[in-house]
Amino acid sequence: MQILETAFSLPVADLARTHKFYVSVFGADQCVRDEELVSLKVGAMTVFFIPVEEFNQMLKPAEKEADFTTGKFTSMLSCTVMTRDQAYASLKAAVEGGGTPCGQAVPYPWGLAAYFKDPDEHLWEILWRDPRFRE
C-alpha cells in the first residue's frame, strides 16, 4: 500500500484562538487558517483543527461525537525538533500562548521530552533527540 497523505483531525472550540496558539508555538509558515479550519504542517503530516460542530457532523457516519465535558482524550500528538533549545522554546511558547504545561520536561539519555495541552486540551509531546541517538 502506498500512503499519499497523513492527516489528523481534532475538534476545537475557537478557530481564531487555535490559529493564534499554533502560530506562536510552531510559526506562521507552518499554520494556516481559512474560514472552515486551521491546518498545521508537522513534518509530513497535516493536523486539521475543525470547529466542534462541523467535526461532529463529519463523525455522524461513524456514530461518534467529540465530547469536551470529560476532559479525557485518548490521543497525543508528537513531534521531534532539531535542538534541545527548540524543545524548551516550544514549551514556553505553548504556555505563553494559552496552553498548559503537563509535568516537567523529562531528560533522557537519548534526549528530552516535554508535554503540554493546547487551549482545547489536546495533548502534545515535543521531543528532542541527541544527534548521537538519531538514525
Dump pLDDT digits (tens) for 9-19: 899 999 999 99
For 82, which DSSP code? S
Nearest to 101 by CA among 84, 110, 88, 112: 88
Ranges of each domain in the chain: 6-133
pLDDT of 14 reads: 95
pLDDT of 4 over the 70 cut: no
For 37, which DSSP code? -
What does pTM read for this prediction?
0.81
pLDDT of 3 reads: 67
Nearest to 47 by CA among 120, 127, 130, 134: 120
Q: Give me the sheet containing 31-33, strands edge to edge.
A: 6-12, 45-51, 38-42, 31-33
Contact criterion met (CB below 8 Å) for 81 and 26: no
Query: How far is 135 from 94, CA to CA, in rounded Å?
Result: 28
- Which tens digits make up the pLDDT trace of 88-97? 999 999 999 9
Q: Which CATH class is domain 6-133?
A: alpha beta
User: What interhelical angle do 15-26 and 84-96 show, nearest 10?
Assistant: 150
